[in-house]
Structure 1
Amino acid sequence: MKRRPNYPAGAGSLVWLFLVGLPLYVMLGATVQSRSDYAQNGPLSFPDHFTLDNYTGAFGEGFGRYLLNTVIVTACVIAIVLLLVPPLAFAIVRSRSRLTSGVFRLFLLGLAIPAQAVIVPMFYLISKAGLYDNLIGVILPTAAFCLPISALILSGTMRDISPELFEAMAIDGAQPRQIFFRLVLPLSKGGLSTIVVFSALQAWNGFLFPLVLTQSESTKLITLGLYNFQTEHGINIPGLLAAVVLSMMPVLLVYLFARRALVQGLMGVGGK
């Protein structure tokens, strides 16, 4: 049978491409214009003179320090998640006790608690612990809110591992620790990549915890550092958008390299 072209689908694709491409064009075009040219020509104009002063000026506003702080927070959150979640997910999948099942259900209650609902007691606890205006005070609550969904994703991935593989290793005399390191972790790369990307996004884009739990310039993260482009005389839109582009590049690169494993990990949520 001869296939006829689907014109409505093609038209819809063009509309979707326009809706997605226009904001990207406006953002990237503004970053290579001077502030005066942007104010004079408008956001939709094509740059007459290309300049990279907005990108270099972002580092002059302290972007490098904010970037380093954000990298530290993100790396520590990922480390905490990778240290705690895989053994927890393995215990959830392999244990048949009611205690483990109850703990898992209690653990998942964290999915129903928004950060906004506990920010006041969180501020009190962090202050009493002497961690206010410290990166550790941002790392710990951020990692805590990443744990429930990460455990759910990774336990779903581990449930997809064939039970016959566990039985074969147990017959060969393998201990639970050996099964965990030699079987479960290598076959859970998709789920591990998923929780790494998810935790990195939560830490990198976090705003509420850095806003409430930090104060000084030395502990600012990228999400708060963007406020430096807003002054009493107006907003430096080209400089702000250049900082936004710089801030999203690391996460975009992580996603590009881990997208296949990320999709596979999300497909395994919930188990068979």
Structure 2
Amino acid sequence: MVRTHGGSAAPSDASGRRDPGRGSRRSFPLVPLLGIVWFAAAFYPVYYMFISSLRERSDYLEGSPWLPPLQPVLGNYAEVLGSGLALYFLNSLFVVTLSVALIVFVGFLAAYVIARIPSRAIRGVFTTFLMGLAIPLQAAIIPVYLLIVEMGLYDTLYALIPPQVAFGIPLTVLILVNFIRDIPNELFDAIKLDGGGHRRTLRSLVLPLSRPALVTVVIYNALQAWNNFLFPLVLTQSSNVRTIPLALQQFQGQYGVDVPGLMAAVLLSTLPIIVLYIVARRQLLGGLAAGFGR
């Protein structure tokens, strides 16, 4: 039914009622506009780092901060690569790889036991893991330092791995436990009736279905380990065991900061995380959206 008034027509349904959503769909697109504003605010720091890394140190403050330099240079990147950044990159990659591998391995097995084996003792273990989320990293740095010294790992790359694993396991277990609990019980019963044990259940059922959650915890823990500054600062001393965050300090002199060189170093240090996110973006979004349905 269509009612006319003054030459205009108002759409309505068969019962004569006007469609309330038709007018709202023609309203101003506020959500896309807010998305564009958010994208600009989030992208501008990356853009600023890039254009600043193309400036000479002497004329860093000249020109508009919104526009790229008229004569861009790549000398800052050459200086960064020649200052030992490759060694620091390998150090960070070594620490991140071992830390994330141990976190995911221990967290995955612990999450399966907590989610699938009902027991009061196991619930107590899960509560202990959750208590780890309430302990700030800064509050435990002195006991961590004493333990690392007693273990004889001080001033080595291996000193950075145990504390990183200890602080990464609680959240990993929490995410994986909730994800595994959302797997239908019928699938576990089917494997059990087929004669499969825990090893087959983990390999054939839980591991494939938990891939989005595993990718999520891998990216999260890799980001935390890659950007960690406190552990390398306290637990290492020699320059040959520096990681990327600690190595960025060398661009700060006694009387000033080499801002273009620092921006080039920061931009290069973020490339592995950006590539990891691009490669695993779909799995990451799926893991963030799932696992908390109950």
Return the alpha-carbon distance in structure 1 between the equivalents of residues 185 and 293 of structure 2: 13
Q: Structure 1: 5+ residue runs without aligned partners? A: none
1:30-69 mapped onto 2 (5 Å cutoff) = 30-41=52-63, 43-69=65-91
Which of 254, 265, 280 aligns to 1:258? It is 280
Which of 214, 219, 227 aligns to 2:236? It is 214
- Alignment partner, residue 23 of structure 1: 45
Task: Compute the displacement of 1:15 (Å).
Answer: 3.9
Task: Compute the displacement of 1:25 (Å).
Answer: 2.6
Task: Compute the displacement of 1:54 (Å).
Answer: 1.0
1:226-245 mapped onto 2 (5 Å cutoff) = 226-245=248-267
Task: Compute the displacement of 1:220 (Å).
Answer: 0.5
Question: Could you give the per-residue CA deviations for residues 111-138 of structure 1, whole angstroms, max 9, x where no partner exists?
Answer: 0001111101111111111111111110
What amino acid does structure 2 have at the position aligned with 1:256?
A: I
Structural RMSD (CA): 1.7
Task: Compute the displacement of 1:45 (Å).
Answer: 4.2
Which of 197, 203, 217 aligns to 2:225? It is 203
Residues 1:185 and 2:207 aligned together: yes
Name the SS of the counterpart of 1:234 in structure 2.
coil
Q: Structure 2: 5+ residue runs without aligned partners? A: 1-21
Which of 152, 161, 176 aligns to 2:183? It is 161
Aligned length: 272
Say whether the 8 Å CA contact 2:182–2:291 is kept in structure 1: no
Percent identical across equivalent pairs? 42
- Alignment partner, residue 105 of structure 2: 83
- Alignment partner, residue 136 of structure 2: 114
- Alignment partner, residue 193 of structure 2: 171
- Alignment partner, residue 131 of structure 1: 153
Q: In terms of Rg, which structure is larger?
A: 2
- Alignment partner, residue 4 of structure 1: 26
Name the SS of the counterpart of 1:210 in structure 2.
helix
Say whether the 8 Å CA contact 1:80–1:143 is kept in structure 2: yes
Return the alpha-carbon distance in structure 2 between the equivalents of residues 198 and 54 of structure 1: 30
Say whether the 8 Å CA contact 2:180–2:291 is kept in structure 1: no
Question: Could you give the per-residue CA deviations for residues 44-64 of structure 1, whole angstroms, max 9, x where no partner exists?
Answer: 343111211111111122211
Classify 1:8/1:264 alpha carbon distance in 2 versus 1 (closer, same or farther; 3 Å).
closer
Classify 1:14/1:91 alpha carbon distance in 2 versus 1 (closer, same or farther; 3 Å).
closer
Classify 1:135/1:8 alpha carbon distance in 2 versus 1 (closer, same or farther; 3 Å).
same
Question: Could you give the per-residue CA deviations for residues 106-164 of structure 1, whole angstroms, max 9, x where no partner exists?
Answer: 12110000111110111111111111111111011011100000011111111111100
> TM-score, normalised to structure 1's length?
0.94
Task: Compute the displacement of 1:39 (Å).
Answer: 3.1
Residues 1:95 and 2:117 aligned together: yes
Classify 1:21/1:79 alpha carbon distance in 2 versus 1 (closer, same or farther; 3 Å).
closer
Name the SS of the counterpart of 2:155 in structure 1.
coil
4-13 or 108-117: which moved more? 4-13
Name the SS of the counterpart of 2:62 in structure 1.
helix
Structure with more contact order per residue of length (Cα contacts < 8 Å, sep ≥ 6): 1
Return the alpha-carbon distance in structure 1 between the equivalents of residues 191 and 36 of structure 2: 53
Task: Compute the displacement of 1:22 (Å).
Answer: 3.2
Return the alpha-carbon distance in structure 2 between the equivalents of residues 221 and 199 of structure 1: 16
Say whether the 8 Å CA contact 1:153–1:266 is kept in structure 2: no
Classify 1:263/1:17 alpha carbon distance in 2 versus 1 (closer, same or farther; 3 Å).
closer
> TM-score, normalised to structure 2's length?
0.88
Task: Compute the displacement of 1:177 (Å).
Answer: 1.1
Classify 1:87/1:35 alpha carbon distance in 2 versus 1 (closer, same or farther; 3 Å).
same
Task: Compute the displacement of 1:17 (Å).
Answer: 4.2
Classify 1:183/1:243 alpha carbon distance in 2 versus 1 (closer, same or farther; 3 Å).
same
What amino acid does structure 1 have at the position aligned with 2:231?
A: F
Task: Compute the displacement of 1:23 (Å).
Answer: 2.4
Say whether the 8 Å CA contact 1:69–1:221 is kept in structure 2: yes
Classify 1:270/1:10 alpha carbon distance in 2 versus 1 (closer, same or farther; 3 Å).
closer
Return the alpha-carbon distance in structure 2 between the equivalents of residues 256 and 263 of structure 1: 11
Which structure has the highest helix share of the two?
Answer: 1
